[in-house]
Structure 1
Amino acid sequence: MTIRLGQIAPDFNVDTTKGPMSFHEWAGDSWVFFFSHPADFTPVCTTEMGRTAQLAQEFAARNVKPLGLSTDSVEEHLKWIDDVNDTQSCDLQFPIVADEDHKIAELYEMIHPGESETAAVRSVFIIDPDKKVRLTMTYPMAVGRNFDEILRAIDALQTADANSCALPADWKKGGEVIIPPSISNEKAKDMFPQGWNELRPYLRLTRI
């Protein structure tokens, strides 16, 4: 099954470090940062889990719930969390999915045979409160994720949704946004009363 942007993220029931989970029910009205890692007690994964824990307040401020996954057991996850907390100076509280039978990793296409036949690559799924997949990223096993970019992408999605706008390259919170070409100038006057800088008829920049 190929996961496409805009589709409903597949639901699942699974054991996690926080107990049994029904994914959609657990997600509730929050956004979800669902990410996989190859294995517990490995170096890159340890730094990524630690970074996610360190950014707990940043995710919470955006109404985002992190959810990790690997093909290890709950028991292994729980042992590893102690190492993560110790080496990364954090307090990891978000749940980690135990996917020993690879069912969820296969459902979400997290296993790429060119990398490994059994371990998940570093997949990212940003899922909105309607359970729709809004953004995906895939990193190889040897390269850790850029968490500044993950937070920036979440900010961009939420800003675009709230303001019916688009975001330019390298956009950061507080920067100029784009009025989409699908919005006429007449309609834009009501939606963006602050006005805009029209570089081209199709390129109108404004601040919100």
Structure 2
Amino acid sequence: MASPPPAPGRRERNKQAKLERIVAAAAQLFSERGVADATTQQIADAADIGAGTLFLYAKSKSELLLLVQNSAYAEALSQGKAAALAETVPLDAVMAIVRPVVECNRVQVENGRTYLREMVFGDATEPHHREALTLSAQTEEAIADALGRTADVRGERASALAHIVSAVMLLAMSAPANTRLSAPELVLDLRQQLGVLLAR
């Protein structure tokens, strides 16, 4: 019988506690002031750490945003995947995954749009950027799985459709013309677009 893994030591617990404080402080300041107006010094002060320590966890404000948003995105994706299992209609299953991701991205519209820009154009060598890309890939996999289960669409076709769904969702969330749309309005718009795609 395998031994349980050792409990994390004090150093690891301290690192985790600092990370949690950083994420909480950055999330609050980004929400209140937006990414453009929140400074790394304000985040460090709110997290009760030095600015140098902050940059050990994320080397730029963009990486801090990715760190914060990735956590919310992962939770939204988890909710969407669970909700999709209860759906039997392909469009409903896909929208069950899409809806919480859109809602997560629209909590603060400009932050959400900045996050998407960083995901697409940011430095892929940075760990939080890689995590964002992984979450995007996991979203496509979840959509492909939902289509395979509800529409009996598998393999390359399911992957291609999921990639198109992801691209449509990304464009809708990042488009300047949509900045005034609420999350429910954007979800409805996406449902109409994806309904056309999935009806084929």
In terms of fraction of residues, the more helix-rich structure is 2
Q: TM-score range by the shorter chain?
A: under 0.3
In terms of fraction of residues, the more strand-rich structure is 1
Higher relative contact order (CA 8 A, sep 6+): 1
Q: Please, what TM-score do these two structures have when normalized by structure 1?
A: 0.23
